[in-house]
């Protein structure tokens, strides 16, 4: 694939072509979304209520090395990169399985930059109460990518592995998953996240004490933050969620009714653009 140069902003009524990466999003009232395809950019909020077409050309490029691949692994990687990169290892999804200190990390330098820095344990509400972890630098993008309508950072820890152990503890009381279909229906009831935080910290106090004994008294710190709320550019939520799949049908057309999480909501169905990272598409708006 050609090297990415200066991003080019494409206006409504034009066609762009390039390999998808996840949509850029910034908080706002509502959140502001930009579709990214190669070096091209399309401001999606301006496309609400208008026809939108995505057509997969049949090509897929690895987002790391750029080589052509017949299949995308872990949302955007070729198989060699999927097997080689630390960011594709099992411990990224389950940080408590970190094996850095066993000397078997795929990329120790990468791990030192990404895993050995403060992480935040949070509560969020996208389809109901859930617990999650993220690097502090990824707030609030992490929550916007999930389609959360509320979020509250509750703990800060020193490393990604420690955040995984805390998350496992919290999963005894609360889910770590989002029901994406419920999220896209827009009927999520608001929660008192501060009260949920206090309840969970009380119930899990002994488990947190054990982790502090293991990693140090200052390794797990309670945060005094206020809940955040998020709004999304949606004209109409679907009554029934039907998803588009470029692997089964390379042409997706419809009127853009909204954007939430990493999903486009069309009158013909929804599509998770992040799932198709690396897919070369032609986009007409």
**Span 43-64, pLDDT tens digits:** 999 999 999 999 999 999 999 9
Predicted confidence at residue 12, as pLDDT, reads 60
The C-alpha atoms of residue 230 and residue 45 are separated, in whole angstroms, by 15
User: Is residue 5 predicted with pLDDT exceeding 60?
Assistant: no
DSSP3 helix / strand / coil % (the chain, rounded to 5): 30, 35, 40
Compute the distance between CA of residue 228 and CA of residue 263 in angstroms, rounded to an integer.
Answer: 21
What is the pLDDT averaged over residues 77-89? 97
pLDDT at 4 over 90: no
pLDDT of 87: 96
The Cα 271–Cα 94 span in angstroms is 26
pLDDT of 35 > 90? The answer is yes
Q: How confident is the model at residue 10 (pLDDT cuts 50, 70, 90)?
A: low
Q: What is the pLDDT of residues 127-179, one digit of tens each?
A: 999 999 999 999 999 999 999 999 999 999 999 999 999 999 999 999 999 99
pLDDT for 3: 43
First to last CA, the chain: 24
Instruction: Specify the higher pLDDT residue, 1 or 40.
Output: 40
Average pLDDT of the segment spanning 2-31: 80
Asked whether 58 and 249 are in contact (CB, 8 A), the reply is: no
Please, which pLDDT band fits residue 14 given cuts at 50, 70 and 90? confident
Integer angstrom CA distances of residue 266 from 79, 97, 242, 263, 269:
32, 39, 10, 9, 5
Element (H, E) at 270: strand 269-272
Residue 264 scores a pLDDT above 70: yes
Predicted confidence (pLDDT) at residue 8 exceeds the cutoff of 80: no
Burial per residue of 216-231, b for 16 or more beta-carbon CB atoms within 10 angstroms, e otherwise: eeebbeeeebebbebe
């Amino acid at each position: 694939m050609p090297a990415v140069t200066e991003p080019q902003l494409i206006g409504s009524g034009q066609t762009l072509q390039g390999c998808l990466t996840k949509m850029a999003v910034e908080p706002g009232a509502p959140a502001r979304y930009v579709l990214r395809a190669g070096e091209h950019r399309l401001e999606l909020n301006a496309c609400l209520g208008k026809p939108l077409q995505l057509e997969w050309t049949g090509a897929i490029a690895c987002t790391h090395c750029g080589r052509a691949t017949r299949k995308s692994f872990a949302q955007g990687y070729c198989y060699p990169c999927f097997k080689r990169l630390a960011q594709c290892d099992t411990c990224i999804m389950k940080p408590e399985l970190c094996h850095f200190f066993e000397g078997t990390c795929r990329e120790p330098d990468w791990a030192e930059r990404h895993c050995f820095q403060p992480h935040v344990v949070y509560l969020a509400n996208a389809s109901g109460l859930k617990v999650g972890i993220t690097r502090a630098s990824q707030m609030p993008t992490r929550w916007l990518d999930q389609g959360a309508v509320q979020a509250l950072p509750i703990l800060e820890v020193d490393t990604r592995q420690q955040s995984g152990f805390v998350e496992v503890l919290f999963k005894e009381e609360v889910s770590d998953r989002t029901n994406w279909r419920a999220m896209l229906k827009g009927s999520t009831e608001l929660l008192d996240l501060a009260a949920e935080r206090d309840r969970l910290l009380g119930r899990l106090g002994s488990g947190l004490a054990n982790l502090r004994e293991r990693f140090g008294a200052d390794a797990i710190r309670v945060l005094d933050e206020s809940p955040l709320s998020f709004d999304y550019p949606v004209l109409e939520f679907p009554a029934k969620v039907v998803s588009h799949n470029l692997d089964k049908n390379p042409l997706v057309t419809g009127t853009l009714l909204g954007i939430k999480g990493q999903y486009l909501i069309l009158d013909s169905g929804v599509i998770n653009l992040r799932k198709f990272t690396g897919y070369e598409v032609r986009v007409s708006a």
